[in-house]
A and B are shown apart, each in its own frame.
Chain A
Amino acid sequence: MFERRLYHHLDWLLLGAVLTLCMISVAMIYSTTVSSAASKLPWTQTYAIVLGLGLFAICLTVDYRVLTDKSHFIYLGLLALLLYVLLFGTVAGGARRWISLKVFNLQPSEFAKIGVALVLAKFFGENRRGSPTTGDLLIGGGLTVLPLVLVAREPDLGTAVTLAPIFLGIAYIAGMRMRILGILVLSAAVLAPIAWKFALKDYQKSRISTFLDPSQDAKGAGYQQIQARITVGSGGLRGKGFTKGTQGQLRFLPVAHNDFIFSVLAEEQGFVGVLFVLSLYMTVIWRSLEAARLAKDKLGAYLVMGLMASFTFQVIYNVTMSAGLAPVKGLTLPLMSYGGSSMMATLASFGLILNVRMRRFTN
């Protein structure tokens, strides 16, 4: 299955950037937890990376067309898992998101992204028409909304939202007419106030309203935003040094090893560190989109696009939030934030992306 010549077409630059980000991740998690009881977290993350690289290898080796062929089974399996979580999952912090696997807790919603990307790639990729019709879009949208609602019910609005870019990204390069995209954006704008009124929980509303004016609630929800800006801003050009950040170390910033890991990086490594890590992410995204462009078939391109849309959305949103420039949401930074399921799912995605690029010359 794995032929030697494929080895030459592996995108080493992309892989190198991903692995570098993984190492930075462990280092930053170490720095943010060194002074607390959670000092085992860097190890947990390391194990997740190792497991993730295993998944990566599998996703790289198996021809992606085999996976997309079976995507409806994968998709259905994931839906079943999400349902299972909703009914029997492990509760933590008021949300039911995990399946306890003795050794670690699995968060199926992270893997849902891959499932959705696979099924949408197959659905749009096998479409013989030039551009998707309204009916296609409705079906594709339905395939996305189903798991999205299940994840949102956990509740985990942050992860649920990351499923939407998959559909939008694939539909976009599948040639969806810009007018429809415009209508989608417009209806989102119309639906937002309605969602505000009926769908959002109070804590979600307060996060958004305080984003518009953090000082109105400097001790509450606005607190994190102000602290994020202070954390980033006080880093300066060169930063305060590894494990020397005051904001992260003294817990002025909550969940520093998780949602706000990039803020701590900015504090301890300064603008220089920010530039370095952002250019790594840019490399990863740029090269992945290259892979989509170079893909042999639409199927591959759509798959890469779906995976990257979610990844890119999360990176841009989290980094913006880390600087206190976006409302605080439970949205992690892929490849950096602490979280085993996210790390494994992300590495698996890159297995698929490299897979598509590597097999661009095969039949």
Chain B
Amino acid sequence: MTVRLVVLQFGIGFLFCALVFGFWYFQIVQNAKFAELAENNHQRTIALRAPRGIIFDRNNNVLVVNRSSFTISIVREHTKDLDRTVQMLAQVLGLDEQEVRDIVNKHKREPSYRPIVVVEDATLAQVAAVQARRLDTELPDVLVQEIPTRRYPTNEMAAHLIGYVGEASEAQVASDGLESGAIVGQSGIEKIYNALLMGQDGARHVVVNSMGREIRPLSEDRYVEGRRVQLTIDVDLQKAAEDAFTASGFNGAAVVLEPKTGEVLAFTSRPAYDPNVFAAGIDRVTWASLNTDELRPLNDRAIQGRYSPGSTFKMAVGLAGLEEGVITPDFHVSCGGGANFYGRFFKCWKKGGHGSVDLRHAIEQSCDVYFYTVANMLGVDKINKWATDLGLGVMTGIDLPNEVQGLVPSEQWKQERFHEKWYAGETISVGIGQGAVSVTPISMAVYMATLANGGTRVTPHVLKAVDDGSGSGWKPVPPPPPPVKIDVTPEKMQAIRDGLWMVVNAGGTGGRARIQGKDVAGKTGTAQVISNEKRAASRSGKDYRDNGWFVFFAPRDNPTIAGVVFLEHGIHGPNAASLAHHILDTYFAKEDGRPLPPPPTHDDLRLDYSDPYARRITTGTDQ
């Protein structure tokens, strides 16, 4: 018995030694690993989202701010029964359980400490309901966070310019080194200056218990707020442009520039959307309706729409004629309501013809025959050269994403595009801005600024200054690429500008844009959307009414404003001039210190709804 007891004693002693060895191995050898695991166990890092930078107009009026919103998320780190949490949360929030489950499943592969946002911009009732359950420790793994969210107080105003924000896509996360779930600019200023506006998120470190409930804070890294930026936009002028469109009921785009600098004073595209719906995560239904809308409200017509310029192209042809020496301002053409070129009869918009006109009157009256003739004398390549120099058919380089390029045809272009020779007959319709010519509204604004500047082409831009947060206030943003100065003879340019002045102030088509004492210079354009034959054949209910243009600068001598109003299916160029009048009136009222004109009514605009198509089938094309 004694032997057996001694054996037992030593056997137990051996077991104790083994235990001591086990504890030594865990507590001493592997201590670092387990210490880290214990830290991760009880510490949680909660991201503090940095508010995006506030956006101001050129006079420091607020355009975009931030508001507080609440998100409700699930943090799975300490969740014991995810199904139960999902079920309970859906019930508490009044959501469809399957929907909540889908959201959770979508993020299943992410680290479990990262919150899965179930509701963005939760209502106060939802927040209260969850908070009550959290206190009962029923939903300890549900997190309610107050986060700054974008607010666009002016709603649809300048929506395309300012853009909107949204959760970073997987591609953005991969390419820009963003955190999954980060809110980034997805269009407009919000996108292109995202790096400035975004700021840097902070973090709060807290101690949590095994249920995931917060026990006490440990430390906090402050976020860095996004930079405040100042735009070149003048909110009064922007509003004038928006009001004019609203009163007209037309869609389209308007861009107003300061011709000397290229600063964009107003920029609108219609129809617009409300960027607020994106701010806290857009719901599927709204997103689908924005995308399937036939009027394509998300499309930024000012920089992404390509349209025939019609008669507004004539100044480029005229200047090319003058500079290439094929005409002088006194060059006269006799218009009898049309002319023959290469065996085909080309009509002038005025059935009876303009009689004998020089360049100034040809611009004033928008005589088609005059510009058919000049175009024919120039050939397409010379027109291409001058139109390009003036800013058409090229990108303007505006600091907005996804600008598209217009087109001014050339022999080389046709060869490359269609592998065909250019026929001289095709040049004739190019002379009045039809045929293959297409332009974006923004490029038309640059074109007018170039004419206003006497040949200096500037790059339009929207960002004026940035506040880097150092306390030194606005720091002006270095100007975009230096302007291109094209070599034009002032006297020749003056002839064009005289013609434009006459359009508005003499007997021309732009009389509606006239402002007493301000010498507005401008040009209307009415461009067909589709050929007469096709329109006649079409049976769909689609809108094929002509597009209307009005391009302008003012005052004629030493201009301080230039721009474009484009009316999609606006029927007549003069209708666009009516809208431009309100913009110009507002601009000069502000300059002169007069009270700003009230928003126009529909009747104030005196729009002409007579469809020239009916007349055109029998007569000319354009005015």
* Chain A residues engaging chain B, CB cutoff 8 angstroms: 169, 172-175, 219-220, 227, 229-237, 246-247, 250-253, 266, 270-271, 274-275, 278, 281-282, 285-286, 289-290, 292-293, 298, 301, 305, 312, 316, 319-320, 323, 325
Contacts and interface: CB of A to CB of B under 8 A. Distances in A.
Nearest to A279: B16
Contacts of B33: 233
Most chain A beta-carbon contacts within 10 A, residue among B8, B23, B35, B79: B23
A352 B38 CA distance: 43
Given A289-B5, A316-B15, A247 B27 contact: no
B614 interface: no
A121 B38 CA distance: 47
B4 A323 contact: no
A278 B20 contact: yes
B2 A293 contact: yes
Nearest to B27: A271
Nearest to A235: B27
29 contacts: A169-B8, A173-B4, A173-B8, A229-B26, A230-B37, A232-B34, A233-B38, A234-B38, A236-B27, A246-B41, A246-B207, A247-B42, A250-B210, A251-B209, A252-B41, A252-B210, A266-B27, A271-B27, A274-B20, A274-B23, A278-B19, A286-B12, A290-B9, A293-B2, A298-B1, A316-B12, A320-B19, A323-B19, A323-B23
Contacts of B6: 293
Contacts of B8: 169, 172-173, 289
Given A219-B80, A274-B23, A316-B19, A233 B35 contact: yes
A236 B33 CA distance: 11
Given A172-B8, A173-B5, 12 more contacts: A229-B26, A230-B37, A232-B27, A233-B33, A233-B38, A246-B38, A252-B209, A253-B210, A271-B28, A278-B20, A286-B9, A293-B5
Given A252-B210, A286-B13, A233 B31 contact: yes
Contact of B28 (A237, A246, A293): A237
B402 interface: no
A312 B28 contact: no
B241 interface: no
A86 to B, nearest CB: 32
A247 B1 contact: no
A174 B373 CA distance: 130
B16 A232 contact: no
Contact of A325 (B22, B31, B35, B209): B22
Give 9 nearest A-B pairs by CB, closest first.
A233-B34, A234-B38, A250-B209, A233-B26, A271-B27, A251-B210, A252-B210, A234-B34, A236-B31
A237 B12 contact: no
B13 A282 contact: yes
Contacts of B178: none
Contacts of A271: 23-24, 27-28
Contact of A230 (B2, B41, B79, B211): B41
Contacts of B39: 246
Nearest to B209: A250
Contacts of B31: 233-237
Q: Is the interface of B mostly helix, strand, loop or mixed?
A: helix
B215 interface: yes
Contacts of A285: 12
B30 interface: yes
B208 interface: yes
Nearest to A174: B1
A351 to B, nearest CB: 21
A250 B207 contact: yes
B41 A301 contact: no
Contacts of A253: 210
A175 B19 CA distance: 29
B362 to A, nearest CB: 83
Nearest to A240: B38
B208 A236 contact: no
A136 to B, nearest CB: 16
Interface in B172-218: 207-211, 215
A233 B15 contact: no
Contacts of B24: 271
Interface string B569-605: 0000000000000000000000000000000000000
A148 to B, nearest CB: 22
Interface string B382-409: 0000000000000000000000000000
A266 B16 CA distance: 15
A34 to B, nearest CB: 14
A319 B28 contact: no
Contacts of B79: 219
A231 B1 contact: no
Contacts of A220: 80
Interface in B64-91: 79-80
Contacts of A231: 38
A234 B35 contact: yes
Nearest to B213: A250
A227 B41 CA distance: 9
Contact of B22 (A175, A234, A281, A323): A323
A248 to B, nearest CB: 10
Contacts of B19: 278, 316, 319-320, 323
Contact of B16 (A227, A278, A323): A278
B4 A172 contact: yes
B77 to A, nearest CB: 10
